[in-house]
């Protein structure tokens, strides 16, 4: 039996899925990611290493969220404040050495107050030491697919071997929002009082951009002013990561500008629904002549409004497909072009089971194929 490789060109147009309209930014590194599709609307050195400063506290928080969700600790659990945590400089929650602090307070101490001391308390409470916790952060980064991040501490304190990328920060932010929605709501809190000291949230967008609801600022002298932010508008959510700016005002203004640009210029388009038939394939020697190949994924992409119909997709499969055919077996693939991620491939599965044909159907099919060059229907 000879099988033919059949390549079905579903749509072939002039450009790929995502073609970014040009926009400039003074940020040295910048990413605008659509939350639902993970398509990048803006990519300025997205995978270059940066010193994330306090933005790396998002990984500290992710691990803490996970520990609470898995029941290892509760919001009312308490961690001891060491001398190391108490003495740490930079932004502080102002914990007292030798005291015990509840997890629910430490969460706000990190999210709202960006407390370096709170981060070390959490690190030592979970792993015994900050170094051991940094090792855990690196393990978790690999699990989450952060391919260009390395952590040396829980705070983002400057270290030449402590780095992330704008893309990794955007991906980590999505994981936080998706996996811990109840905790994510804490990022919109504008102030927190601990030890009779009230501090405001350092995220400037909470006070100046009504669509924003998190996440984390960062600053060191070497890295400049940075921000990882997210905003939701008209049913869409975007994630912005900007780094390497010269002032607090520039950080705020550039982030709002890019988020508004993303909401204004781009739209999410549904290409295929879950379990939608992508192509009908011939069946060889089966009790049915045709099989539907389906995708098990809902496939969405973010497209520029001016290029909404311009994308290319290809279906590749062996035709005909020999029976028996099983519903959960892959028989083809859908390939969609994407400028940032390269070609994205989705497996195609049989919609139903098809048994081998009976002896008379087999004879008829073989006769039809060799005499007429087709398959007996």
| pLDDT reported for residue 368 | 59
Q: Which of 57, 92, 174, 216 is catalytic?
A: 57
Q: Which of 28, 54, 91, 337 is catalytic?
A: 54
Check whether 8 has a pLDDT greater than 90: no
CATH fold of 29-245 reads Beta-lactamase (3.40.710)
| pLDDT reported for residue 361 | 55
Q: Which of 114, 149, 154, 173 is catalytic?
A: 114
Range 119-133 average pLDDT: 98
Are 259 and 229 within 8 A, CB to CB?
A: yes
| pLDDT reported for residue 193 | 97
| pLDDT reported for residue 312 | 77
Q: 72 catalytic, yes or no?
A: no
Report domain extents, the chain: 4-15+271-372, 29-245
Q: Name the nearest CA neighbour of 209 among 238, 186, 182, 183.
A: 238
> CA–CA separation, 302 vs 339, rounded Å?
12
Q: Which pTM was predicted?
A: 0.84
Categorize the per-residue pLDDT at 9 as very low, low, confident or very high, splitting at 50, 70 and 90.
very low
Sequence-distant (6+) residues with CB within 8 A of 38 are 171, 174
Sequence-distant (6+) residues with CB within 8 A of 119 are 57, 60, 110, 154, 155
> CA–CA separation, 336 vs 311, rounded Å?
8
Q: 127 catalytic, yes or no?
A: no
Q: 312 catalytic, yes or no?
A: no
Are 305 and 265 within 8 A, CB to CB?
A: yes
Q: In the numeric block, which tokens belong to residue 9?
A: 């060109």
Domain made up of 4-15+271-372: CATH architecture: Sandwich (2.60)
pLDDT digits (tens, 9 = 90+) for 185-224: 999 999 999 999 999 999 999 999 999 999 999 999 989 9
DSSP structural state of residue 186: G
| pLDDT reported for residue 13 | 33
Check whether 373 has a pLDDT greater than 90: no
Are 320 and 283 within 8 A, CB to CB?
A: yes
Range 72-97 average pLDDT: 97
Q: What DSSP assignment string belongs to 274-290?
A: TT-EEEEEEEESBSSSE
Categorize the per-residue pLDDT at 366 as very low, low, confident or very high, splitting at 50, 70 and 90.
low
Q: In the numeric block, which tokens belong to residue 233?
A: 């508008």
């Amino acid at each position: 039996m000879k099988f033919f490789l059949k390549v079905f060109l579903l749509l072939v147009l002039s450009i790929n899925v995502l073609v970014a309209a040009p926009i400039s930014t003074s940020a040295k590194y910048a990413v605008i990611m659509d939350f639902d599709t993970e398509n990048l609307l803006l990519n300025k050195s997205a995978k270059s290493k940066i010193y994330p400063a306090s933005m790396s506290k998002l990984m500290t928080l992710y691990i803490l969220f996970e520990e609470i969700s898995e029941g290892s600790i509760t919001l009312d659990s308490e961690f001891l404040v060491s001398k190391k945590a108490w003495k740490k400089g930079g932004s502080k929650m102002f914990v007292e050495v030798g005291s015990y602090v509840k997890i629910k307070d430490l969460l706000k101490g990190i999210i709202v107050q960006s407390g370096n001391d709170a981060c070390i308390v959490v690190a030592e409470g979970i792993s015994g030491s900050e170094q051991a916790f940094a090792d855990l952060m690196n393990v978790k980064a690999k699990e989450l697919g952060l391919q260009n991040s390395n952590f040396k501490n829980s705070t983002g304190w400057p270290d030449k071997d402590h780095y992330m990328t704008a893309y990794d920060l955007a991906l980590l932010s999505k994981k936080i929002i998706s996996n811990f929605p109840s905790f994510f709501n804490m990022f919109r809190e504008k102030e927190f009082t601990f030890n009779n000291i009230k501090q405001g949230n350092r995220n400037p967008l909470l006070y100046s951009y009504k669509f924003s609801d998190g996440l984390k600022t960062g600053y060191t002298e070497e890295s400049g002013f940075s921000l990882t932010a997210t905003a939701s508008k008209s049913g869409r959510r975007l994630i912005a990561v900007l780094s390497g700016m010269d002032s607090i005002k520039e950080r705020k203004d550039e982030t709002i500008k890019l988020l508004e640009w993303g909401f204004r210029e781009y739209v999410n388009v549904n290409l295929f629904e879950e379990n939608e038939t992508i192509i009908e394939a011939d069946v060889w020697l089966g009790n049915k002549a045709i099989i539907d190949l389906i995708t098990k994924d809902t496939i969405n992409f973010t497209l520029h409004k001016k290029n909404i119909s311009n994308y290319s997709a290809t279906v590749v499969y062996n035709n005909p497909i020999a029976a028996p055919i099983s519903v959960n077996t892959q028989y083809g693939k859908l390939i969609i072009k994407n400028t940032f991620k390269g070609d994205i491939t989705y497996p195609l599965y049989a919609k139903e089971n098809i048994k081998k044909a009976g002896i008379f159907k087999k004879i008829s099919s073989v006769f039809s194929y060799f005499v007429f060059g087709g398959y007996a229907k």
